[in-house]
Amino acid sequence: MAAVVDFLDLRAAAPFVVAALAFYFLVEQLSYHRKKGPLPGPPLVVPFVGSVAHMIRDPTGFWDAQAARARKSGAGLAADFLIGRFVVFIRDSELSHRVFANVRPDAFHLIGHPFGKKLFGDHNLIYMFGEDHKDLRRRIAPNFTPRALSTYAAIQQRVILSHLRRWLDRSAANGGKAEPIRVPCRDMNLETSQTVFAGPYLTKEAREKFERDYNFFNVGLMALPVDLPGFAFRSARLGVARLVRTLGECARASKARMRAGGEPECLVDFWMQETVREIDEAKAAGKPPPAHTDDEELGGFLFDFLFAAQDASTSSLCWAVSALDSHPDVLAGVRAEVASLWSPESGEPITAEKIAEMKYTQAVAREVVRHRPPATLVPHIAGEEFQLTEWYTIPKGTIVFPSVYESSFQGFPEPDTFDPERFFSEARREDVVYKRNFLAFGAGPHQCVGQRYALNHLVLFMALFVSVVDFRRDRTEGCDEPVYMPTIVPRDSCTVYLKQRCAKFPSF
């Protein structure tokens, strides 16, 4: 009898439940259309989840559709809805500059990822503003001086060559079979970043744990933001917390070594050398330690560098190999320039002075980054309403996606063509003429502080790769279509045939 009563109660309640759901659906649609205003976007959105299924299933197609809407409308903007959040896609370069230039508490907050604050943790350079942010960037400046970059260059080359040796040995063992290099590039970059940033402070065991946790992080970046046990997002968040603690321990060890008068061997050493001096001066004066010098906080900032360097570089290295294979004249130009300055048989690394002389190879690196900017979007959230144009105001709470990828194809002559001469020719100087469209490293107060390091890494990889390796892409239909992993890479993960080119493999 009780079961019958319960069933009748459910039947009686059903109309009210349906009415409540219909009301929720109506309110959500009205809210979406009020925020969307004149922007192009889907006429109806799926309650709460919006277009997130499309974004996760086919991120390339999803963002291409946003760009097509923005382009077709002529507004340079498009609207959509993702997991309860209204979003605006920005294609127009000047509107993107307006966002980058207005990162402050009462305008836009850089978030790095739609759910980045929860994923990355509290101690993060990404989320800082104003004088606090300027002060931290001042402290970071010693990390990227010519002396520091020269120290990193020697480390980078040793790691790159050790991995190229492995690639060639594996290729020979497999009978010269073509293999994708995206994951090998990623592994190489992870070791490079660990060694450049934390140097002697990461043990072999710590590096193994580091790689496991970074894999959790990578998977979590592309997963639904479900912070529950068993979900990829939770594993990523916990993995980041462990990574930050490990890097904080590296900062603590570096402080002790720099205080004892040691010479800098890695990025954290260059950073801590000045930091310990300021800490000691404050202590002697009876003052508290300077801001942003706590070990775990420093670990969070070091993780920022790792995140910025890791997948972006993996993307650029893959696209560089693809571009060099597709353009034999460019490959010949790079090989000739490198050969005029350095030989694999020299037994010496490429010096900072020689890197500076590789003008053509540097132009190729810049064109790789322009043609395929690795981090295609730079998400921000509107902390307050912001009038972006004369006719449209971004509502508070909106997630805004300036597209640096779309900017790269605006202004430049024949933008779809891979053409390093645009950055090499003194007559063209497109890096100057179209500077406002070259946004791969961002702009404004949060412009990438490590862009010189990133470009040096790409230049060094190309210089070493073309000198010691003969390679050929295993080209298949659609192999160079960009896919998100989470930065963009060739669809086939850049599958290549490899064999040794030089008579004697470099050793130094």
Q: Which domains does the chain have, with CATH numbers?
A: 2-500 (1.10.630.10)
**In the predicted model, is pLDDT for residue 10 greater than 70?**
no
Question: Which candidate, 149, 97, 120, places its Cα nearest to that of 445?
Answer: 97
Q: What are phi and psi of 312, to 5 degrees?
A: -65, -45
The pLDDT, as a whole number, for residue 455 is 97
**More reliable by pLDDT, 12 or 106:** 106
Beta carbons within 10 angstroms of residue 28's beta carbon: 18
The amino acid occupying position 408 is: S
Instruction: Look up tokens 């060559």; give the residue.
Output: 161
pLDDT at 122: 65
* pLDDT given for residue 35 in this prediction: 94
Provide φ and ψ at 382, rounded to 5°.
-80, 110
Q: 266 near 251, Cβ under 8 Å? A: no
Which residue has 């998400």 as its token pair? 379
| Residues 120-124, mean pLDDT to the nearest whole number | 71
Task: Give pLDDT, residue 1.
Answer: 55
Model pLDDT for residues 47-88, shown as the tens digit of each residue: 888 898 898 889 999 999 999 999 998 989 999 999 889 999
β-partners of residue 401 are 89
**Calpha distance 213→207 (Å, rounded):** 10
Taking a C-beta distance cutoff of 8 angstroms, is the pair 77, 88 a contact? yes
Which are the contacts of 264, defined by CB distance < 8 A and separation ≥ 6? 148, 151, 258, 270, 273
What is the chain's mean pLDDT, rounded? 91
**Mean pLDDT calculated for residue range 390-411:** 96
Instruction: Report the pLDDT averaged over residues 399-415.
Output: 96
Q: Which two tokens stand for residue 4?
A: 């019958």
Residue 466's pLDDT is: 98
- Mean pLDDT in residue range 4-20: 64
The pTM is what? 0.91
Share of the chain above pLDDT 70, in %: 96
pLDDT at 8: 47
Beta bridge partners of 80: 87
The torsion angles phi and psi of 503, rounded to 5 degrees, stand at -70, -40
The answer to whether residue 20 scores a pLDDT higher than 80 is: no
Give the model confidence (pLDDT) of 242-296 as tens digits: 999 999 999 999 999 999 999 999 999 999 999 999 999 999 999 999 988 999 8
* Dihedral angle over CA of 472, 474, 477, 482, nearest 10: -70
Residue 374: pLDDT over 70: yes
Which letter, b or e, does each residue of 54-87 get, where b requires 16 or more Cβ atoms within 10 Å of its Cβ?
Answer: bbeeebeebbebbbebbeeeebbbbbbbbbeebb
- For residue 235, give Cα distances in angstroms to 22, 217, 466: 36, 7, 39
Which pLDDT belongs to residue 3?
54
- Among 153, 152, 183, 141, smallest CA distance to 166 is for 183
Q: Tell me if 448 is assigned to a ligand binding site.
A: yes
Peptide bond into 43 cis (omega under 30): no
Residue 221 pLDDT > 70: yes
Lowest mean pLDDT among 96-100, 308-312, 387-391: 308-312
Tens digit of each residue's pLDDT (9 = 90 or more) over 299-339 = 999 988 887 788 899 999 999 999 999 999 999 999 999 99
Count of beta carbons in the 10 Å neighbourhood of residue 104:
14
The pLDDT value recorded for residue 226 is 83
Distance CA 130, CA 104 (A): 7
Mean pLDDT for 396-411 is 96
Among 12-16, 87-91, 225-229, where is mean pLDDT lowest?
Answer: 12-16
Q: Name the token pair of 294.
A: 């706590």
CB 442 within 8 A of CB 350: no
Query: Count of CB atoms within 10 A of residue 49's CB?
Result: 13
Asked if residue 368 lies in contact with residue 323, where contact means CB atoms within 8 angstroms, the answer is yes
Short-list 112, 159, 118, CA closest to 457: 159
**Alpha-carbon distances of 287 from 6, 252, 281, 284, 291, rounded to whole Å:** 69, 20, 8, 7, 11
Band of residue 2 on the pLDDT scale cut at 50, 70, 90: low
Q: What pLDDT, on the 0 to 100 scale, is given for residue 172?
A: 95
pLDDT digits (tens, 9 = 90+) for 343-359: 999 989 999 999 999 99
> Does the structure show a pLDDT above 90 at 224?
no
> What does DSSP assign to residue 473?
E
Q: Residue 39 pairs with which residues in a beta bridge?
A: none
CA distance linking residue 506 with residue 124, whole number of Å: 39
User: In sequence order, what are the residues at sequence separation of 6 or more whose Cβ sits closer than 8 angstroms to the Cβ of residue 31?
Assistant: 86
Which one, of 161, 101, 296, 218, lies nearest residue 484 by Cα? Answer: 218
450 versus 371: which is more confidently predicted? 371
Any idea how long the chain is?
Answer: 508
- Measured in degrees and rounded to the nearest 5, phi and psi for residue 53 equal -60, -45
